[in-house]
Chain A
């Protein structure tokens, strides 16, 4: 049975356990890499973004009309003999299905894979009622025998090794199995289940599509068991969520272009089956099958009307949001969801299985945007996860103390900066006047000691700025510098590099002193109200009309300012003046240097040093900036050396690394292993948060590779001859 942690303490205990499962870690890490590497091949010649946008728009257009589509479906399905039922919740769905079985004199039931049936715990209900239920999808059969829930929506038994499966099959068949040979294990299922298929009275399936204009169900499968489940027994019941209703065949064919590709890397699955009505069936008394479709609401109909969360109903259950998630790949699906797993699971759990099952898991997202970038229906998953976290807190009327403090401090810039300045003094005993704290006080060290921590700078950048950036007489560009907390208070040197690099380019840089934290940490803690308040302060401080660009050296700030600001004011009746202009003018460091200034290689010494690059989540996925930083590395006289998984998260995620240190450290270590394998002398990135994580981790492992922000790495290479620039 599924046991999802209902409080953060037991959740962390479970996570620790999962992190210790070496097979799981290796299997899922390999899967993550293989999936991402294979993806471009799978989508060759296909306009993923174009189709994605079309599907999303199509789904959105349908959501307000689910009830109408249901009625339409019903008319057509009934005309072909199908009985159509509606179930308002899981219990009602299960009861309807049990009643159909009872009235049909059923004893044995076979099932094809259905996440919706998992959602209602249908097997459990039917077994309790006295029916014999057998799952026939290989993965589902395995987890049914083990009495577990699925750990992946497409590959439910991905958490198990062949040896575990072999042992299980030995118990089931009472025969010795050759676990080394997966083909043979698969044949065990073929052989064992054949009679079950032939002797069953009723078959239960789900469906991928319910076509409103014809009353047809579409099912997308690979093994062939679903076809047997819907053919051999005399009764077929399909359990279908309302969200599977789509207008017609065309909409289904469009989804079919991406669903198999995204789910399993296939252009199409082995079987795509369109079923309608009471097809011939010789085991039925009438020689025609009894056919039922049970539509499940369970919160979907009200979700469809929700201005924020309705987007989640676009999901076509491809499972990809888990495949690419760095956290899923560390802890597996049983610890990363309840019934539905992965990013979408963290969201849907609240609506289908209650806040008690979501309250712990929903906090476990590092906001790396990987899921969003592969979602074929364009659900803004990381954003909705934070929204869900907020909804959980609101429903339970519980806000953690740390959230209360964070909100209070962040809303008041002077207090916030005062605390940061004081922190410089407080940390002195630990830093021992070195740039990093290697050892934390004893009670922190065990969990949080996986990286050295940077120290707060003695003098923040704001106090050093004036002499660094003199007035320019006739500037070609006037830019506002959004510095961000990390550079201002921890790494002023990264910001100091900017005026040095701009010298000779005729750029006037403004540093408005009233700017404060971008607000991302507040949003990460689901304190959207606080995030809005600091956003207002920043837009006022930066006064976008004064500048051609608003530049930042922090990828996370940049993507938050550009993409989250409009989102957090979407429902606000009184958005700040200049919001649109502000977000339009946001530019990241590399894009400014390459695309606006077009800096010349001549400005830099040519050293040919081997430089690896870490691509920050919020730059490559958040802002789609991919080539520019790598170009800059080369223009600055370095040799760029590629490394594996460059665009995978480093595990920082701000407070995430403090809340979930073990996972953060596992992600970081993989990253550093990849960098070390690339044999570079220097690692650069363009986000101070990533620098904290990577430099801290490298220091802790006594690695020889230096870690720098791209701005520093560039400034170090400047020739002294200004005329060259």
Chain B
């Protein structure tokens, strides 16, 4: 499968589990998307991880102009108060529409778990067809003699514990947005 096909499959499978997927051009789009969505949902705060200094700056400016607060780490201090998070996924798995996010940093974990809405940036070239295609790289990380916390995230948090009726957004984020970007850090 070539890259456009993987992007399409990733989109299809992630949407099948209620994720919102968009293909975007660059970080300006991402920052605008994040601020707009937060405003639309009536949120006030954004927690961002994994951005480089320039990106962080751009996001800060946009937040400021939109009247939103870009939260400073550590996010544990804002645990009750994170509306949106913006994170960067290490890989995508097209077959299941999953994100793979190295979450050994506590801030990444909190950012992917506690907010109402989680927005993840996924570089297009990091989309793999299936988990097996990622096994080698994952294995290297997991086998190192250091702590690790790797997460496959697929859609928003969900339950069917009451009468087997599907309900979205139990303890984790209620919405997952995936922004597939063609030339991230290009």
Contact = CB atoms under 8 A, between A and B. Distances in A.
A492 interface: no
Interface in B129-186: 131-132, 135, 138-139, 142-143, 145-165, 167, 169-173
A69 to B, nearest CB: 15
A269 B154 contact: yes
B40 interface: no
Contacts, number: 176
- Where chain A touches its partner, the secondary structure class is mixed
Given A227-B113, A228-B113, A279-B147, A249 B154 contact: no
B106 interface: yes
B135 A156 contact: no
Contact of A279 (B106, B139, B155): B106
Interface in A100-148: 136-139, 142
Given A249-B135, A250-B135, A279 B161 contact: no
Contacts of B147: 80-81, 276-280, 288, 291
Contacts of B114: 228
Contacts of A165: 162
Given A138-B162, A282-B106, A249 B149 contact: no
Contact of A231 (B110, B157, B167): B110
A216 B112 CA distance: 21
Interface residues of B, number: 52
A159 to B, nearest CB: 10
B148 A270 contact: no
Contact of B170 (A190, A216, A269): A190
A270 B149 contact: no
A223 B139 contact: no
B145 to A, nearest CB: 4
A194 interface: yes
B172 A227 contact: yes
Interface string B87-124: 00000000110100001111001101110000000000
Interface string A204-233: 000000010110100000111101101110
Interface in A220-259: 222-225, 227-228, 230-232, 248-250, 253, 256
A431 interface: no
Given A223-B158, A268-B98, A273 B170 contact: no
Chain A interface residue number, banded:
35 or more
Given A222-B157, A224-B113, A253-B132, A182 B145 contact: no
Among B95, B147, B158, B164, which residue has the most Cβ atoms of chain A within 10 A? B147
Contacts of A288: 147
A273 B98 CA distance: 12
13 contacts: A79-B145, A80-B147, A138-B170, A155-B160, A157-B162, A160-B162, A214-B142, A222-B170, A227-B172, A231-B110, A270-B156, A270-B158, A272-B98
- 3 smallest CB-CB distances across A and B, nearest first, come from A224-B172, A277-B147, A139-B161
Given A224-B157, A250-B135, 19 more contacts: A139-B162, A142-B162, A182-B162, A189-B170, A189-B171, A211-B142, A222-B158, A228-B113, A228-B114, A231-B106, A231-B110, A231-B113, A248-B139, A267-B95, A270-B157, A271-B153, A272-B98, A279-B104, A279-B149
Interface of A: 27, 31, 34, 76, 79-81, 136-139, 142, 155-158, 160-162, 165, 182-183, 185-187, 189-190, 193-194, 197-198, 211, 213-214, 216, 222-225, 227-228, 230-232, 248-250, 253, 256, 264, 266-283, 288, 291
